[in-house]
A and B are shown apart, each in its own frame.
Chain A
Amino acid sequence: MSPSNDELIAQAKNEEAPLLPLLHRLHERDGYLSDEALRAVSKGLRIPIADLFGTITFYHHFARDLGGFEAPRVCTGPICCLKGAHDLVESLEGATGMPCSGRCDEPIPVIRGRQTLVGTSANELAVRETPMPPAKQGDHEECVFAHIRDPDRKTLDGYRRTGGYEALQKAVTSMTPDALITMVDESELAGRGGAGFPTGRKWRAVAEADGGPKTVVCNADEGEPGCFKDRALMDHDPHAVLEGMALACYATGAPRAFLYLRYEYPETEHILAGAIAEAEAAGILGDDVFGTGTEIRIHLRRGAGAYICGEETSLLNSLEGGHPFPRNRPPYPVTHGYEDTPTAVNNVETLASVPPIVANGAAWYRGLGLGDHAGTKVISLSGDIARPGNYEVPIGLPLTTLIEEWAGGVPNGRAVQAVTMAGLSGGFLAGEDLAVTLDEPSIRSRNSFLGAGGIMVFDDTRDMVEISHMAMEFFAEESCGKCFPCRIGTHRLTERLAGTAGPDDLEAWLDEVNDLNKTLKETSACGLGQAAPLITESLLRYFPDAVQTHVAGD
């Protein structure tokens, strides 16, 4: 018999960050979130019913109609659209589209309940494991992918066979938190989710902040279109991520950590939950880490479909059960994060980099980059490319080396017309600017940024105005609605790229779009609105003729 509302609510009351897990349990139990269930939650967790209702509607995936949980959601991200995602939506009964769900290196993913299927047509959908990163290319040493292809790596035994959890054991038994932070600081590891903030500095700020308990959050809400690296890491090397989180906890003095996983990775949740249970049973996590008396508990929390929850303060609001608007900063999460406690929010890849750093030393990691650059970056490469997938590159590698040599270039004898950077957020690079190296200084000098490392390749047959429209539509749909420039501006830019509104006269059209670009970029409250105009800016920069044709209505 399935558990009652009262039982589930009583269980939730004993948990940290109880709202999302409770809602998921109800969602799966009933196949949707009924009014009755929501009223019970409102009463049980003392959340005003109106606020609860509003928050539910914010997320993409909570179904409010009977059976909605099982209804197929088809990825309609930019790459899947090129593969015919809209036809697939049409051909599946009750299907709806969903934003990029992070499997751009495969046929189109379709989520049905707790299962992800992939395929390009309705009758060939099949369950398939997340693709392993392609074999190592070049003679550069890897960091996070060094052992990912080892057999049984995802099991605790397999992980420990090649030194897994030795870094954690070493840290908790023979290093002070301060020494650990210093080591990470000296490695020059910086945030791999896109913001690039030095990890050691962040940890030190949390360690030294007043108040507690301290909190670590692993940001696994990989929502950026064209990014699927964290899924590969978590699916194939879950313990590396957990070990990185545990090291972050030890460094900052946090007894608890949350892993906030995006909704679209249901299998990953299963893998991670198993890994946490294994590690706890082995005394590696829990209230007595390696017999040292150190407490480190990792709580797995699943989002419900909202790109903005990848923004760390939205993520914290979501975790706390609030409306996932970004917070105003300062104060920053390092002093006022989860429930106002000092909180280190780190990306999956960042955390997975820490165990090898502790094992091999700061200098080793620094030396992985090319030239003056420290370390590596995983790039998710997709689109018109022979071998899409996740590549761990030394920072500073030329983009063309990655595309042409590592990934086999553009198929069918076509040429690269443009690539996106930072998934979609960095806009396009094209023409001479494709000669960048994969590091922030080089890419930023071209008015873009590397960000989370998603790169989509478009060959010279693609309609760049249409691709820009898809990109801007994504930002408009994911705009949270808190700040005016982003809420209205992304919508107006979408309309102009779609040709459904805006002046017919090119000069007036450009005048509007340029003003929107500038105001979005400079006055939006968070990165979403600030980055969205990079799409239109780079479109205008590289493809003025296409824009002119578009406005003329041809």
Chain B
Amino acid sequence: MSDTTGRTIFLDGEEVPFERDETIFQVAERHRKEIPTLCYDDRLDAFGGCRLCVVELEGARNPVASCTTKAEPGMRVTTKSGSLEMHRRVLLEMVVSENREVDVDELSGYASQELKTLVDRYDARTGRFSGKTSGTSRPDDPNPFILRDYENCISCYRCVRVCAEQEGDYAITVMNRGFDTQITTEFGGLLKDSSCTFCGQCVQTCPTGALGDLKALRFAEVEKEVEKTRSICPYCGVGCAVDIMTKGDQVVGIQPAMDGPANEGALCVKGQFAFDFVHHPDRLKTPFVRDDHGQLVPATWDEALDKAAAGLLEAVNEHGRHSLYAVASGRAPNEAGYTLQKLVRAGLGTSYIDNCSRA
């Protein structure tokens, strides 16, 4: 932590230090104040839209949005009071009133349970403020990846902001104004016809499931717990950390690791959506050996391993140790490449090995 001399605020009466340029929200979060919010994503510029994070600031006429207010020395901040909690509940009741539903499947996306969680925490399913609902869903968009269910949109614009600020694609935008606000592409078209790259960032930041991961939602009906396993994307060399979502032995989806050191929450269409190969019926399930008729046929491990060892040794025995060549994979883990180079080096004393980096 950097030097915070002279930089303290009073947070619910407790004097706490803050760092340069920190907002009240960030200071409060570090002190586990659990200020509610719906429009906040710590990767994005603070927006100040949902107003759930308002706090009382001594000397200010009205509560201030803690996400957009920088901490200043000597500030006296109250993060929780009867009045603040009343505002938060009223705001949540309002949000509930504009949506078709609050309960969405957790497979919808990384942040999809945020609204539901807050609504339950504030007991905001009161049915008050009923009226017209907002947002027009786009069931006409046939893309296989991103659900566009804007009837559950709360206009926090996290999707628009993540697309612009994080992804730099600017594929989606805010159309119209006020209650008629609608998330859209240029001229209201399909995502495929826009500059959308289907990276899925909008899906993962959506706090209501209005944008949903259609591939993961295929498994919504499977009655098993979702488990997450941290791993690394199998495609390019960037090395994005992912959480593999499983139900039992089934991979049901991928979520970006928000704390992944290389990607910090980002993924591309391949890492996000191209994972079905794992369970594809074409996967090899047994070893194969070439039979007397020249056909590759299934074999036991013992048969195959013996045959492989014998075949390789035969070449070595007849043509010398430099007659065996190994090609390692740029796709397999380090342990594969290491054992293979060790096989030629420790086994045969050669460096007759390469990998696929030359083509």
Contact = CB atoms under 8 A, between A and B. Distances in A.
Interface of A: 35, 48-55, 57-58, 306, 308, 323, 328, 330, 476-492, 495, 500-502, 512, 515-516, 518-519, 521-525, 530
Contacts of B95: 484, 488
B24 to A, nearest CB: 13
B350 interface: no
A523 B48 contact: no
B70 A523 contact: no
Contacts of B195: 48-50
A54 B185 CA distance: 8
Interface in B164-193: 164, 170-181, 184-187
Q: Which of A55, A57, A484, A491 has the most CB of B within 10 A?
A: A484
B186 A50 contact: yes
B51 A495 contact: no
A489 B178 CA distance: 10
Contacts of A522: 54, 62-63, 83, 87
Contact of B170 (A48, A328, A481, A491): A48
Contact of B179 (A50, A51, A476, A519): A476
Contacts of A518: 86-87, 90
A515 B132 CA distance: 18
Interface stretch (B123-131, B205-213, B229-237, B302-310): B123-131
B87 to A, nearest CB: 5
Contacts of B175: 53-54, 57
B90 A491 contact: no
Contacts of B97: 488, 492
Given A477-B178, A485-B94, 6 more contacts: A323-B173, A479-B179, A481-B176, A491-B132, A516-B90, A519-B86
Given A51-B173, A523-B87, A484 B178 contact: no
B17 interface: no
B62 A487 contact: no
A50 B178 contact: no
Contacts of B185: 50
Contacts of B341: none
A521 B188 CA distance: 34
A488 B187 contact: no
Nearest to B156: A484
Interface string B35-58: 000100000001111111010000
Place the interface of chain B in its size category. Answer: 35 or more
Nearest to A524: B51
B177 A58 contact: yes
B137 interface: no
B335 to A, nearest CB: 44
Contacts of A482: 47-49
A521 B155 CA distance: 20
Contacts of A481: 155, 174, 176-181
B119 to A, nearest CB: 13
A484 B154 contact: yes
Contact of B178 (A55, A323, A476): A476
Nearest to B56: A522
B179 A35 contact: no
A267 B68 CA distance: 40
Interface of B: 38, 46-52, 54, 62-63, 65, 68, 70, 83, 86-87, 90-91, 94-95, 97-98, 128-132, 134, 154-155, 164, 170-181, 184-187, 194-195
Nearest to B50: A484
Given A328-B48, A523-B62, A53 B186 contact: yes
Nearest to A324: B177
A488 B131 CA distance: 10
Contacts of A500: 131
Contact of A495 (B65, B128, B132): B132
Contacts of A323: 173-174
B131 A501 contact: yes
B63 A491 contact: no
Given A54-B173, A57-B176, A530-B62, A487 B186 contact: no
A154 B90 CA distance: 52
Contacts of B194: 50
Given A49-B186, A328-B65, A522-B63, A501 B98 contact: no
Contacts of B51: 483-485, 523-525
A57 to B, nearest CB: 5
B183 to A, nearest CB: 9
A514 B101 CA distance: 25
B70 A330 contact: yes
Contacts of A491: 131-132, 178-179
A188 B197 CA distance: 56
A486 to B, nearest CB: 8
Nearest to B183: A54
Nearest to B129: A492
B176 A488 contact: no
B98 A488 contact: yes
A482 B47 CA distance: 9
A483 B52 CA distance: 10
A476 B178 CA distance: 7
A51 B187 CA distance: 10
Given A328-B68, A490-B178, A495-B131, A484 B186 contact: no
Q: Which of B90, B128, B174, B178 has the most CB of A within 10 A?
A: B178
B130 A523 contact: no
A492 B184 CA distance: 24
Contacts of A485: 51, 91, 94
Nearest to A39: B186
Contacts of B62: 521-523, 530
A50 B90 contact: no
A50 B170 contact: yes
Closest 5 CB pairs of A and B: A48-B170, A54-B173, A501-B131, A481-B181, A479-B178
A180 B166 CA distance: 46
17 contacts: A50-B194, A53-B175, A53-B184, A57-B177, A481-B179, A481-B181, A482-B49, A483-B51, A484-B95, A487-B179, A487-B181, A488-B95, A491-B131, A495-B132, A512-B128, A518-B87, A519-B90
